[in-house]
Chain A
Amino acid sequence: MFRNILKKGRRLAGLGSLVAALTVVAPAMAQDKEPVVFGGSIPLSGVFAFAGIHIHAGLTDYTNWINSQGGINGHPVEYVMEDTAYEVDRSVAVFKKISGSSSPATYYGDSTGFMKAIASELNSQGDTLMSGASFATALTDNEQYPYQFIPGPNYSQMFGIILEYIATQGEGGDMPTVAFVYSDTEFGKDPIENGKARAGELGIDVVEEIVTKPGSVDVSAEVLKLRRVRPDYVVFHGYVLSPINEFMVQMRQMGLDTQFMGTFWSSDKLIIDKMGADADGYMGVMPYNYYDSEESGPMLDALRTQAEKSDPEAGYRPTGYMQGWFNAMVWTEVVKRTLDAGKELTGDNMAESLASIEDWDTGGIIGIPVTVRNMSFPVGRIWRVNAEEGRYEPVSDWIHLD
């Protein structure tokens, strides 16, 4: 326990240095231009805190970095956030507070629930562009959510990437079979219909679908179900950790040689840290390069340097950090494009700038140039856990959906 507390102490200290300034104040710049504000409802506590803390670190570090580069077209950047505990009503309260006091150009939303609840307000205000922790398929509906975008592929597109990878793995004309295992939540059910449709198009047989409660549940009966159909691949969605581990361990105990795959929020180091050797071979779809991957690029290097500078103790930075950084990168690009066009930073203008992003070089954060489609970046790569090395290694090329 002492070690645990020590570990936690370190983590607190690390976070402390970040939170010390809840607002990353823009440095005074020569031109004295008006600051561009990044707002955020960030889950520093509650069930999503494990990611929220790193998202916050990513956003903070990016803000400091961009300011060290002279801001956006000379405009300094200010990052204003508050904790939400991952509760929708409190997220909304934070949004009202921040939008009332500092009129943010862009905003980080912490959950699908929040993004949906704030949509009407956002649409009627029309001066903020929002993205965040959610990759929900629904949010790529431009009619209903014109000012919200997804900083990567949405969950359906993640399934698309996974299925496209699986389709290439068939041997001798045999299409592999797949089973979907997902949680009984809005998050969990999001991509299932689209996933099944896509599998049908690719000729992949979805042999079983399993719904469970998220988190701590006994899944031995569900494992038995999978044992009967013996899928070549099991795709998890809507979990962070449990019960993925239990499915993997029990199915391997049964001697099945099934491959296990997951989507963004279940493809972090957490899986390796908690499962140890059992995690070996688990695959995830990830639109960004991992912090410790062998890839490089000017932006990825800048990210690593900045992360090193802000907290030399931290070492590896989780996917939440990359996600936070990438969100802020997109915001910067959008604001820059809008300003370059000589337009005001309104929701419409920024959404237009976002839609104009084509073959954009992300400097190594994403391995290939990306094009925005329907307010999302439908790109990703399949990575596999190498438990011995304690990290994910790429097993596919970058897959860019049309």
Chain B
Amino acid sequence: MRIGDAKQSYEADEAIWTSQTQKLWLGFFLLILTVFPFAVDSYLLYLGCLVGIAVISTTGLNILTGFTGLISLGQAGFMGVGAYTVAWLSINTGLPFPVTLVLAGLMAAAVGILVGLPSLRVKGLYLAIATLAASVFLHFIFAEWESVTGGMGGLSLEPAHLFGLTFQSDFMMYFIIVPLAVLMVLAARNVFRTRIGRAFIAIRDRDISAEILGINLLRYKLMSFALSSFYAGVAGGLFAYFYRVVTPESFPLSMSIFYLAAVIVGGMGNLLGGILGAAFMTLVPEALKLLTAALTPFYPSAPVFMSPMLEIIFGALIVGFLIFEPHGLAEIWHRIRRFFRLWPFRN
């Protein structure tokens, strides 16, 4: 049992790193992340990159949905804005990737603010529908504004580059994606130590009360939209560099639902949850495929009945977590930690 964790000042309470052990574990985790690309094959490396992108986008959506209580079905659309921005910039200006990614984030944030505007008047589910409408319009623009987006065929772009380095392989991309993911999660962690972050949480818990406390609802809601879309835009930009082709069909509605599911399964309003959820949801199909491969020798028709299973499992995860574990994987993680921390006593 770990003892002596009593905080003696507000700074200590607000600190990101609350204990030595935590720093140790985090250092260990970062070390693993660094060693990972050198140790694994191209398949795992690819999955690692996918998880990294998903973590960024999920963290963004978590800020909006988990922390501010505004549900969005437009995440894929915002990612699309980021992806098209990167694609267009890299084709037409040849700017290096840090610039294009930031611009992608800003562009998505601008669109996010625009979409968030109705949040002054509508909220809850009506807002979700407004974001749905936004994603329909965005898809339409991606498909029809041919001079900029290349229409249905989309855009193909060159690999990301910086200082003469080209980031062509997954191995190189990993060193853009993962550090960026770590950085953006830490940034989000910091936001929730500030007035802004706390205002988000106040709005989520009861918006009218928050307003009475002097929080400008529209301003903070839009800020939340902007921040969340910024994350989505950067994730979309990375997506563009990763696959090097962007088409309107790359960002379907199901993708928005995927990210919502990741937030829920991971744990709404919990950054660790976002990370766990993103990784978990990205890896479930692959895990299922492993299971299928393992079953095939015994049940030869396994591939056929296992694949609809994915759809069922996806839905069941959403429903199951909401009913039985509303705080998501993060809560399970905490429980496990608590168990070890309190061992040999029961919690």
Interface residues of A (CB under 8 A from B): 12-13, 15-17, 19-20, 22, 44-46, 49, 53, 82-83, 85, 87-90, 92-93, 96-97, 99-101, 113, 116-117, 119-120, 124, 138, 144, 184-186, 189-190
6 contacts between A and B (CB under 8 A): A19-B302, A92-B243, A96-B42, A116-B247, A117-B244, A138-B153
Give 7 closest A-B pairs by Cβ, nearest first: A45-B307, A16-B300, A16-B301, A97-B43, A12-B301, A100-B42, A186-B152
Which residues of the partner chain B approach A49 to less than 8 Å between Cβ atoms?
307
Answer yes or no: B128 CB below 8 A from chain A CBs: no
Which residues of the partner chain B approach A45 to less than 8 Å between Cβ atoms?
303-304, 306-308, 310
Which residues of the partner chain B approach A90 to less than 8 Å between Cβ atoms?
285
Q: Give Cα A89 to B252, complex, Å.
A: 13
Name the interface size band of chain B.
35 or more
A12, B305: Cβ atoms closer than 8 Å: yes
- Across the interface, name the chain B residue whose C-beta is closest to A124: B168
- Which B243-298 residues have a C-beta within 8 angstroms of A? 243-245, 247-250, 285-286, 289, 292-293, 296-297
- The contact of A89 among B50, B296, B307, by CB within 8 Å, is B50
Q: Which of B43, B154, B168, B305 has the most CB of A within 10 A?
A: B43
Q: Give Cα A124 to B301, complex, Å.
A: 37
- The contact of B152 among A19, A20, A89, A185, by CB within 8 Å, is A185
Answer yes or no: B47 CB below 8 A from chain A CBs: yes
B300, A93: Cβ atoms closer than 8 Å: no
- Across the interface, name the chain B residue whose C-beta is closest to A53: B304
A189, B151: Cβ atoms closer than 8 Å: yes
- Across the interface, name the chain A residue whose C-beta is closest to B254: A87
B289, A83: Cβ atoms closer than 8 Å: yes
B310, A20: Cβ atoms closer than 8 Å: no
Q: Looking at chain B's contact residues, is the secondary structure mostly helix, strand, loop, or mixed? A: helix
B249, A185: Cβ atoms closer than 8 Å: yes
B303, A83: Cβ atoms closer than 8 Å: yes
B303, A189: Cβ atoms closer than 8 Å: no
Q: Give Cα A144 to B143, complex, Å.
A: 21
A19, B303: Cβ atoms closer than 8 Å: yes
Q: Give Cα A61 to B244, complex, Å.
A: 35
Given A22-B293, A93-B47: A124 in contact with B169 (beta carbons within 8 A): yes
Answer yes or no: B159 CB below 8 A from chain A CBs: yes
Q: Which of A15, A53, A93, A144 has the most CB of B within 10 A?
A: A93
Answer yes or no: B46 CB below 8 A from chain A CBs: yes
B244, A120: Cβ atoms closer than 8 Å: yes
A215 CB to nearest B CB, Å: 14
Q: Give Cα A353 to B163, complex, Å.
A: 39
Q: Give Cα A184 to B143, complex, Å.
A: 9
B80 CB to nearest A CB, Å: 14
- Which B293-336 residues have a C-beta within 8 angstroms of A? 293, 296-297, 299-308, 310
- Interface contacts beyond A92-B46, A96-B42, A116-B245: sample of 13 additional A-B pairs, CB < 8 Å, sorted by A: A12-B305, A16-B300, A16-B304, A45-B303, A53-B304, A83-B307, A93-B286, A100-B43, A101-B41, A116-B156, A124-B169, A186-B153, A189-B152
A119, B300: Cβ atoms closer than 8 Å: no
Q: Give Cα A92 to B43, complex, Å.
A: 9
Q: Which of B151, B170, B243 has the most CB of A within 10 A?
A: B243
Q: Give Cα A144 to B158, complex, Å.
A: 11
A363 CB to nearest B CB, Å: 31
- Across the interface, name the chain B residue whose C-beta is closest to A89: B50
Q: Which of A82, A83, A87 has the most CB of B within 10 A?
A: A83
A44, B46: Cβ atoms closer than 8 Å: no
- Across the interface, name the chain A residue whose C-beta is closest to B239: A89
A70 CB to nearest B CB, Å: 28
B327 CB to nearest A CB, Å: 28
A117, B245: Cβ atoms closer than 8 Å: yes
A25 CB to nearest B CB, Å: 14
- Across the interface, name the chain A residue whose C-beta is closest to B310: A85
A94 CB to nearest B CB, Å: 9
B149 CB to nearest A CB, Å: 12
B308, A15: Cβ atoms closer than 8 Å: no
A113, B43: Cβ atoms closer than 8 Å: no
A84 CB to nearest B CB, Å: 10
Which residues of the partner chain A approach B168 to less than 8 Å between Cβ atoms?
120, 124
- Across the interface, name the chain A residue whose C-beta is closest to B286: A93
B159, A20: Cβ atoms closer than 8 Å: no
Which residues of the partner chain B approach A190 to less than 8 Å between Cβ atoms?
152
- The contact of B296 among A20, A97, A124, by CB within 8 Å, is A20
B135 CB to nearest A CB, Å: 16
- The contact of B43 among A46, A96, A116, by CB within 8 Å, is A96
Given A92-B46, A120-B159: A113 in contact with B249 (beta carbons within 8 A): yes
- Across the interface, name the chain B residue whose C-beta is closest to A144: B156
Q: Give Cα A201 to B308, complex, Å.
A: 47
Which residues of the partner chain B approach A53 to less than 8 Å between Cβ atoms?
304
A146 CB to nearest B CB, Å: 14
- The contact of A85 among B45, B47, B247, B285, by CB within 8 Å, is B285
Which residues of the partner chain B approach A15 to less than 8 Å between Cβ atoms?
301, 303-304
Q: Give Cα A44 to B292, complex, Å.
A: 12
A104 CB to nearest B CB, Å: 13
- Across the interface, name the chain A residue whose C-beta is closest to B282: A89
- Across the interface, name the chain B residue whose C-beta is closest to A16: B300
Which residues of the partner chain A approach B169 to less than 8 Å between Cβ atoms?
124
Q: Give Cα A83 to B296, complex, Å.
A: 13
A338 CB to nearest B CB, Å: 25
B179 CB to nearest A CB, Å: 22
Given A96-B42, A100-B42, A120-B168: A20 in contact with B250 (beta carbons within 8 A): no
